[in-house]
Amino acid sequence: MVSAGTVGSGSSTIAPIVPGGPQTTLDALAASAAATSPTPPAIEVEGLVKRYRKAERNAVDGISFEVQAGEFFALLGPNGAGKTTTLSILTTTLGPTEGRARIDGFDVVADGPAVRRRVGIIFQKPSLDRNLTGEENVRFHAILYGLYPYAPAFGLMAAGYRRQVAEWAELLGLGREIFDPVRTYSGGMLRKLEIVRSLIHRPRVLFLDEPTTGLDAPSRRALWGYLGDVRRELPGDGPTRLASPDVTEFGLHGGGLDLHDHIVVVVVSVG
């Protein structure tokens, strides 16, 4: 079992999901966070249960927790513990069997479209179109969200879009490579591009599902470093603020388990 506790700064929390039992430790962490924060929680989860058809036990078993605005929150556990299932419910791609969950005050079942506009996600495996350039992947995402009208070329897109892409690409070290075909990207570059894509619509909450899976140690450190750069570069009163401490400070190694590959990170950015 992975132990739970508060680590690093006051805005960083690590909590476990363990197969087969209620998450009372998560409740204690949530109560502690609520007592110290005057703002409403950005994520509220109450008695969340997911049981798949014909399954002998719940995939998610009655978990409850809250995540405050500006907080870095992580779910830790081995494969099959229910981390991705929980994330899928919070991002509306999977419905709960019981319980409730809200993102920025919107119910994930009743207010699905509003929730989807408020979340960004980086999946466990890259979900990019390898036949497009990096910028074309980002453009497709922005158009689907209704942020900008369609144009067949980057130079014909709205000035706001072109400025956003240039700023993110520079910040994350992609530079002009964002105009290269995705099939030429390394694993680290794919993750950088996914960060750009996930932030282009300025989400209120950013989810990362085991984002370092398949990356070597230098690429893992670089990924968390880039997220830290994003947090520092964004204006403090802007619509998106990220709290993303370097995960290496948590010492996520124990019991022979490399927890870098068993982590779902929730970066809350409600201002």
How many CA atoms are closer than 13 Å to the CA of 105, on its beta-carbon side? 4
* Model pLDDT, residue 53: 92
Q: Are 62 and 22 in contact (CB under 8 A)?
A: yes
Per-residue pLDDT reduced to its tens digit, 117-137: 989 888 877 889 999 999 999
* Model pLDDT, residue 27: 44
Per-residue pLDDT reduced to its tens digit, 12-32: 444 545 444 444 444 444 445
* Model pLDDT, residue 78: 76
Q: Are 205 and 43 in contact (CB under 8 A)?
A: yes
Q: Tokens for 140, please give them.
A: 């497709």
Instruction: Give the residues of the chain that fall short of pLDDT 70.
Output: 1-40, 70, 213-215, 227-271
Residue 226 burial (C-beta neighbours within 10 Å; 0-12, 13-18, 19+) = buried
Question: From edge to edge, which strands make up the β-sheet containing 98-103?
Answer: 60-67, 43-50, 98-103, 106-107
pTM of the model: 0.72
Which residues, 6 or more positions from 15, have their beta carbon under 8 angstroms from its beta carbon?
4, 23, 25, 26, 29, 65, 73, 74, 75, 76
d(CA 59, CA 95) in angstroms, rounded, equals 12
Answer yes or no: CATH 3.90.1150.10 is held by domain 5-268.
no
Domain ranges of the chain: 5-268
* Model pLDDT, residue 67: 84
Cα torsion through 97, 101, 103, 107, rounded to 10: 70
* Model pLDDT, residue 41: 80
